[in-house]
Structure 1
């Protein structure tokens, strides 16, 4: 169980159970209620006792073993009692009932709802102890049993297909819409909520019908709030992200076998839940609502963009509805250079829509070109960018003018880039020309349009042009890389000489260069095995100063 972000309770123990019902009294009251309707009002004693439990554990006190056992006994007996009443359809209003019977039924339903709300109050206690966590998880198990009993006995007729949407929606609302912001993982946007993780492992990932109805009900849950505050929005986002990030909601390569997935409710309406189109539309509606929440931060955008192409887009009824979200996040990243990764990830999502869903997005390469700024090669995310850039530029049908512009812009960036960036640029450009067969761009290496004797050469490349098809890069040359031959770092100098050789090497494995940094470059130099002594000066001197403290004449 995750403890991060939880306030640890004090060591004061709850040991006084004399003022509460004894275990024998609890079981006796339960039995009397089940024996005769005349004893229904006794249920108030059990509810009051459980309410007292919730109040005590919400204080700064820690349950000892004795009190935990007592609390679980009360929880189990109340759950058993209501399951029994549900199975007898006592909590089912029917037209055939008399007015008196309906009045009793409504009263019992209100007590049933009171117990459910007490469980939700227990869930919302924002502190951590092992005993409290155990009680919360027990309550989750019991309240999920109510879904089974309601679906079986409270439908229009016993045995008829039915799913207890109303109670399940209440469970989802209290499970997904409340929590502690400090438990959100800053690195990936998920949340360390042990109750949610228990629900994910035991229910959400195991049963198809629970997944189906979650995405059906969540948009309705959001509409129940008059106004969502920022904290609630971020909690909902992080919890939903946690549920979908680990595994896809179903196997897109085997849609037909959805009917073979296990169900939590055996008599769930199969005609509804096995409709892939209905599920995708609900999934789409849910995420469109979530992504339009106003309280989301750039960190949340990044966390969803990293999984968008694998966990979100494939399950949309109409994936092109994500275009507005992706173009918005791209703009946010461009406007703030420190979050350029946001733009990179947005373009990855747009690329997936273009590739798999025939999205027309003519500005894709223009927007991609705009990311190539001097700041890019100083960011720690540059490795991720070049992995994506290699994917985006892999098409052999790209116009030579666009490819040449990217090659030229990268060459220009190398002039102000650290060595760790240059050693990525050189093999990347080589691969563009060789691996992806953009042979027309060989002109950038062996340009014949320039008179070498002309000392007033003006580079035709327009570095201020935003459209990569209009930069005149194809008429230029990558003279910037030529200047790297005399680079101060030997790795850069040696690597760039590949352009002076025949293009016999098939291609570079870009992964070999993406994780380079100053530490790795220096470590390579320190560990290099040298033959003989290093020549530091033309001649070796014994000292720099004479007896009087002046520099020796031979130094001048």
Structure 2
């Protein structure tokens, strides 16, 4: 609870703001209001910020801070007054910019909101010499000062960015934001950028990319008409060039992953031509590991929808099938995408057989929770490509690793001899300790129906879930056994039990 003195201060601030608006003779009160911006009390700061908003929003709207023309003597006095007002406004803006780094989230958010209100007011009523021919201009100087706080090289601005997101709904703000980022990246292209800086840049770009594209009407915060900003084509062009500028920076592995995660759904639909990301995605795909996994989605979109030629796509995908893929965070994503990529019935049998065989082989050492998905993946391939059922119907099938003609270390699926082998690994999993795995593995003993199983039903399985289901199943099958209700008096229940002197039963 605020102290009485703070309550009085708040009331005084409000009264002084009212006096400033009532008469020019009371305008000096604005200096007293600004002086309270050094307070550490939240209620005082809140009252002070709101008071300054009320005062200067009125002065901007009525254009009392604009330059004038007319009688020289009157002009000098009026010009001096208006210049003084602009100085106080500049001091107010400086204080609000400083509060953007406040540890108090409420003050941070309030300061940002007030600054953006000033942006809106300045856009519609520019603080400049009056002229009948003047046109509206976005207040870039004020906006640049605000944006500079978002691209700090030393401190994360993610918390403040959440408050700024609502203003990105306005097309002029989003356009100016992208333009600022683009210029800032160009300016710092030759300098060593920090990871924090690039993370802040990505945060802004991510927020801009998360918004739905408008193709018809545009909405502006600070302007009624926006010149070239009024063209959706210009927005798309700037969005594309800004992202390309960002991707040319040296990204950290963590940031690299975040970019790839949002690339397909958020970035590529808004680019002037998604093929501009082909170099970035193909380079990512050749890196291996998780980076390659995450690049799959966007790269396949370019191949499937935009006719990108990538003859080694399936060879690289085959190389990703390693035991480590079962242990990464994006394992479910990999299963889903690989199954999608192998959907076409026009794929050659040797390629499908190679994927089925290698998935079966690495399943021998895979964690139990992913085994069901791996087996269903193989079964779906066999249903989709009947010519590959030779892998389970071969009478002279090898029974162990030494007899298997399959070349596991061969990187080319066309040369791995998968069609000469069999899926004895799935047969081996029929002896697995987990009953659910055994049940799924026995499916290859029966004729495979044409209807595929939904792979998504077997993804994201955990060990805890398997154990819980097994306990539930056991409780249904195990019958309770009655036990004696008479407490024993000894280990052997006889009066001459000599052990009673040495052991106590509780």
For the 8 Å contact 1:424–1:514, the answer to whether it is kept is yes
Query: Per the alignment, do residues 28 and 292 of structure 1 end up closer, same or farther by CA in structure 2, a change over 3 Å counting?
Result: same
Query: Per the alignment, do residues 313 and 84 of structure 1 end up closer, same or farther by CA in structure 2, a change over 3 Å counting?
Result: same
Within the alignment, does 1:192 sit opposite 2:156 as a pair? Answer: no
> Partners of 1:224 and 1:104 in 2: how far apart?
38
Secondary structure at the residue paired with 1:85? coil
> Partners of 1:385 and 1:122 in 2: how far apart?
45
1:214 paired residue number: 177
For the 8 Å contact 1:396–1:438, the answer to whether it is kept is yes
> Partners of 1:458 and 1:311 in 2: how far apart?
49
Among candidates 359, 363, 367, match of residue 414 of structure 1: 363
For the 8 Å contact 1:179–1:235, the answer to whether it is kept is no
Deviation at 1:349, TM superposition (A): 1.6
How many pairs are equivalent? Answer: 471
Deviation at 1:409, TM superposition (A): 0.7
* TM-score of the two chains, using structure 1 as the length reference: 0.73
For the 8 Å contact 2:119–2:139, the answer to whether it is kept is no
Query: Per the alignment, do residues 287 and 406 of structure 1 end up closer, same or farther by CA in structure 2, a change over 3 Å counting?
Result: same
Within the alignment, does 1:493 sit opposite 2:438 as a pair? Answer: yes
- TM-superposition CA deviations, 1:29-49 (whole Å, max 9, x none): 66666x9xxx9xx77x84685
> Partners of 1:221 and 1:156 in 2: how far apart?
33
1:549 paired residue number: none
Within the alignment, does 1:53 sit opposite 2:36 as a pair? Answer: yes
1:173 paired residue number: 148
Higher relative contact order (CA 8 A, sep 6+): 1
> Partners of 1:325 and 1:12 in 2: how far apart?
59
Alignment of 1:391-430 (within 5 A): 391-430=340-379
Deviation at 1:231, TM superposition (A): 2.1
> Partners of 2:353 and 2:130 in 1: how far apart?
67
Among candidates 285, 308, 318, match of residue 241 of structure 2: 285
Alignment of 1:340-489 (within 5 A): 340-434=289-383, 437-447=384-394, 450=396, 458-489=403-434
1:238 paired residue number: 203
> Partners of 2:349 and 2:4 in 1: how far apart?
75
Within the alignment, does 1:314 sit opposite 2:269 as a pair? Answer: yes
Gaps of 5+ in 2: 70-74, 481-506
For the 8 Å contact 2:349–2:385, the answer to whether it is kept is yes
For the 8 Å contact 2:407–2:416, the answer to whether it is kept is yes
CA-atom RMSD in angstroms? 3.9
Query: Per the alignment, do residues 129 and 281 of structure 1 end up closer, same or farther by CA in structure 2, a change over 3 Å counting?
Result: closer
> Partners of 1:192 and 1:239 in 2: how far apart?
12
> Partners of 1:401 and 1:394 in 2: how far apart?
15
Gaps of 5+ in 1: 1-9, 93-97, 184-190, 335-339, 535-556
Query: Per the alignment, do residues 104 and 403 of structure 1 end up closer, same or farther by CA in structure 2, a change over 3 Å counting?
Result: farther
Deviation at 1:262, TM superposition (A): 3.0
> Partners of 1:360 and 1:157 in 2: how far apart?
58
Within the alignment, does 1:263 sit opposite 2:224 as a pair? Answer: no
> Partners of 2:347 and 2:208 in 1: how far apart?
39
> Partners of 2:124 and 2:326 in 1: how far apart?
60
- TM-superposition CA deviations, 1:475-523 (whole Å, max 9, x none): 2222211222222322222212211211225111112211223222222
Secondary structure at the residue paired with 1:469? coil
Deviation at 1:374, TM superposition (A): 1.1
> Partners of 1:277 and 1:22 in 2: how far apart?
48
For the 8 Å contact 1:411–1:481, the answer to whether it is kept is yes
> Partners of 1:134 and 1:213 in 2: how far apart?
20
- TM-superposition CA deviations, 1:68-87 (whole Å, max 9, x none): 3244323432343344336x
Query: Per the alignment, do residues 321 and 151 of structure 1 end up closer, same or farther by CA in structure 2, a change over 3 Å counting?
Result: farther
For the 8 Å contact 2:67–2:128, the answer to whether it is kept is no
Deviation at 1:298, TM superposition (A): 2.4
- TM-superposition CA deviations, 1:362-398 (whole Å, max 9, x none): 2322222222111222334322221121222222222
2:487 paired residue number: none
Secondary structure at the residue paired with 2:197? helix
2:454 paired residue number: 509
> Partners of 1:231 and 1:13 in 2: how far apart?
42
2:501 paired residue number: none
Deviates more, 1:145-154 or 1:402-411: 145-154
